[in-house]
Structure formats: C-alpha cells, structure tokens
C-alpha cells in the first residue's frame, strides 16, 4: 500500500523574482514527488515558469486574487510554508489552526542588528511582530548565527534550516587572475555599495561590475570612477551567464542573513570577500573558500593581496566550488523533507 503524499503549499509567487519566491520555486523542483505534492502561486502579469507545482495564477485585481490563492492553498494542503511574512493574509493562521494544518516559516534576516529595527518598523511595532510570529509554531532561522543572536521576542527552532543553491545553472571554472570584481544586490544604504567605488579609485586596473538596482543608483552613477560598470538587474539565468566573466565577488554589507549570492558565485568558482559582522565564518573558511575581513582598510588590503597572488585566488576558487556543492539543493532538500515530515 502506497503511503499518502504530503500536500505542501509554498506561499510564494513562482514567476516573480525575489529571494523567497526563488526558494519556493526550488522547493517545488527538488522536493521528492513520490512523497510530496506541491502547490504555489503565480502572478498574472509575468510569464509563466515551468514547475512541478500545481499553480494558482493570481488574476486582476491582484490583492483580491492573492487572498483567494492563499485560501486555495490552505484548504488544499496539509502543510503551509509562509516565507513572505508581510504579504500573508492574517486570517490564514486562524483557518489553518481550525483545519489542523501544520505551518512553518523561515527567518532570513538577522534579528540583532539594524535589520532588527527594520523588521520591527515593517510590522509597525514590536507588539505586532511578536503577535504575528506567535501564530506560527515552527520558525526556523536560515543560519545558526541568526538563531543564536535573535533578541526580538521570536522563538526560533534550535537548529538552522539552510537554503540551497542550484549549482547546475552555473558553469564552474577556476579563477586565477583578478580582472573583474562583481557585486550583486539592492543598491541601498544597508548594502554600502559606496565602498566599491572607493576600491575602484584605488584599484584602477580592475573593473567593478555592479549588478542590481535601487534607490541609490543615481547617486552611485554620478560618483563612480570610469572602471565601475552598472549592469542593472539581471534574471537568474542572465546572472549565471554574467558570472562567466567575473573573478571575485565582494559584498560590503555589514548586515545580512545568509546571502545566497555567495553560494551562486561559488557555484561558478567565484570566491567572496565579505565582512565578519553577520556570522559569515559559519560557511566561509577564511582564505580557503573565501575571504573574511573586519573593516574597510582590511578589505582594501586583502583585495590587493588577491590581485597580486594568483595562487591565493586559485586556491579559494577551488574551495568555493566545494562550498557550493555542500549547499546544493539536491543535498539540502533532504533536511527540508525531514523537517516537513516532523512539524509540530
């Protein structure tokens, strides 16, 4: 007799590109179809994506249809995954509890630094934030650092539930000469992209490629040296193609959760140069599969060492590929399946 499949609703829009939605798309792809049937949402104003999931296409008017979509997923499924906290209709929790559904979510931001204040403001106060997460019995941080340092009234599970990367999308090759640096992310204050402009002024023979968009775009363009190239926002596949030209990824932010771009770059053999503030040593081994520094002076100094030492770049490029394999969705998905099958 065949065991009944678990029906899981992935509360994201599979054809709308952002971190949570891409994770839902990956879960729909990698969850074992012999054990799970996946349900998810899409938006009417973007092209459809190929997926194993059963999809509810939200129509116009979007706000009303998205509510219907969440209701559809909740009634259809046994397990409800809600990664998009602000766009989840609050009554979904009431209905899920009445129907005996199992709910879980992931916390992807640090809750102990400037991101904590941002999160509280997003929920319009600490009380609202606490009340929201009290409705969810299973809350997982995506790094151990997030869990160990959380201090804003949210009870997280003790062990991290790591996100994965689709390594097969990227062409990995060993980098041994530093010519192109890349940044990928939102162009906003927290990301501190201005530090890349300072580096570009020091290292005039290196090209600094900035991929992304945001409120600081115009300011950065006006103040950028000639060796800074603005590439705009790229799709996941276009990013994978662009990575073929890059040699080193720099992330100057001092507040992150688990920056997926580190794994994406690593999948292409590109090591990352990052700050130590958010627990990067949890996945990066300094000078083995990437580089961790404490301040801008050390950042500039380390970049100089990498530029002048081809063997250092090559060794860390090889290590980066191994790092990405460790977090391949094909491996990470086993932990997700175990968690889903043992939810409270």
Please say whether the beta carbons of 106 and 112 come within 8 A.
no
Please say whether the beta carbons of 177 and 310 come within 8 A.
yes
Beta strand segments in 108-246, E:
138-141, 180-184, 207-211, 228-232
Residues constituting the chain: 344
Instruction: Give residue 59's pLDDT.
Output: 93
Instruction: Give residue 143's pLDDT.
Output: 92
Do 6-164+329-341 and 167-326 agree at the fold level? yes
Instruction: Give residue 112's pLDDT.
Output: 65
Instruction: Give residue 257's pLDDT.
Output: 84
Long-range contacts of 124-131 (CB under 8 A, 24+ apart): 126/152, 126/153, 129/153, 129/154, 130/154
Q: In the sheet that 228-232 helps form, which strands lie side by side, from edge to edge? A: 228-232, 207-211, 180-184, 248-251, 272-275, 291-293
Q: State the distance between the two ends of the chain, measured CA to CA, in whole angstroms.
A: 26
Domain ranges of the chain: 6-164+329-341, 167-326
Instruction: State which fold the 167-326 domain adopts.
Output: Rossmann fold (3.40.50)
- Collect the ranges in the chain with pLDDT lower than 70: 1-2, 112-115
Instruction: Give residue 2's pLDDT.
Output: 60
Q: Phi/psi of residue 271, each to 5°?
A: -75, 160
- CATH class, domain 6-164+329-341, is alpha beta
Please say whether the beta carbons of 78 and 7 come within 8 A.
yes
Instruction: Give residue 168's pLDDT.
Output: 94
Cα 20 to Cα 23, 28, 110, 191: the distances in Å are: 5, 12, 16, 19
Instruction: Give residue 173's pLDDT.
Output: 94
Long-range contacts of 275-283 (CB under 8 A, 24+ apart): 275/251, 275/299, 277/113, 278/110, 278/113, 278/145, 278/253, 278/254, 279/143, 279/144, 279/145, 279/146, 279/149, 280/256, 282/143, 282/144, 282/145, 283/143, 283/258, 283/323, 283/327
Q: Please state, as a whole number, how many other Cβ atoms lie within 10 Å of the Cβ of residue 118.
A: 12
């Amino acid at each position: 007799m065949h065991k009944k499949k678990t029906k899981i609703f992935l509360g994201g829009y599979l054809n709308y590109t952002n971190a949570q939605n891409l994770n839902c798309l990956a879960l729909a792809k990698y969850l074992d179809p012999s054990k799970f049937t996946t349900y998810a949402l899409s938006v009417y104003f973007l092209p459809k994506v190929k997926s194993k999931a059963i999809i509810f296409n939200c129509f116009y008017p979007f706000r009303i249809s998205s509510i219907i979509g969440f209701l559809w997923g909740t009634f259809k499924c046994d397990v409800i995954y809600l990664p998009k906290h602000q766009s989840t209709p609050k009554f979904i929790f009431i209905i899920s509890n009445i129907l005996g559904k199992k709910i879980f979510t992931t916390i992807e931001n640090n809750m102990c630094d400037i991101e904590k204040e941002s999160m509280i403001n997003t929920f319009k106060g600490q009380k609202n934030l606490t009340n929201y997460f009290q409705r969810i019995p299973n809350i997982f941080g995506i790094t151990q650092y997030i869990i160990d340092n959380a201090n804003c009234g949210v009870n997280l599970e003790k062990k991290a539930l790591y996100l994965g990367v689709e390594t097969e999308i990227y062409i990995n090759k060993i980098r041994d000469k530093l010519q192109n640096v890349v940044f990928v992310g939102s162009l906003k204050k927290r990301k501190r992209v201005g530090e890349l402009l300072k580096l570009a002024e020091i290292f005039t023979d290196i090209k600094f490629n900035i991929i992304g968009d945001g409120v600081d775009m115009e300011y950065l363009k006006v103040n950028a040296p000639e060796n800074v190239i603005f590439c705009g926002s790229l799709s996941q596949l276009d990013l994978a193609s662009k990575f073929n030209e890059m040699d080193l990824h720099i992330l100057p932010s001092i507040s992150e959760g688990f920056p997926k771009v580190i794994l994406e770059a690593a999948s292409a053999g590109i090591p990352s140069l990052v700050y130590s503030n958010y627990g990067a040593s949890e996945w990066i081994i300094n000078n083995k599969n990437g580089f961790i520094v404490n301040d801008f002076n050390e950042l500039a100094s380390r970049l100089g060492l990498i530029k002048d030492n081809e063997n250092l770049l090559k060794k860390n490029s090889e290590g980066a590929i191994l790092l990405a394999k460790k977090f391949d969705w094909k491996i990470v998905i086993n932990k997700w399946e175990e968690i889903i099958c043992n939810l409270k």
